[in-house]
Amino acid sequence: MEQEQKEKISEYGLKIDLHSGELELFDVKETPIGWSFGQYVSHRTGSQQEMELLRRNLIQNNLKTLLRHG
């Protein structure tokens, strides 16, 4: 039963598009073979909700930094 629940819960990460600067959520199971974590991809993973919250916090912190130093 626990194994079935673990399979249903997907693990997500964050990646950054260096061209557009966009932060995107991605399902870790759908990561292409040979994709290197740590190169523009977060080492931190979690549920979709956790990673969305992290993405929002990163954007908010960057905006605060820009406003202080801009």
Q: Collect all residues with Cβ–Cβ distance below 8 Å to 54 and sequence separation of at least 6.
A: 14, 42, 44, 46
Domains of the chain: which residue ranges?
2-69
> Can you give the pTM of this predicted structure?
0.63
Each residue's pLDDT tens digit, 17-54? 777 778 888 888 887 676 666 566 777 889 999 999 99
41 DSSP β-pair partners = 15
Q: What pLDDT, on the 0 to 100 scale, is given for residue 2?
A: 63
Q: What is the chain's percent helix, strand, coil content, to nearest 5?
A: 45, 15, 35
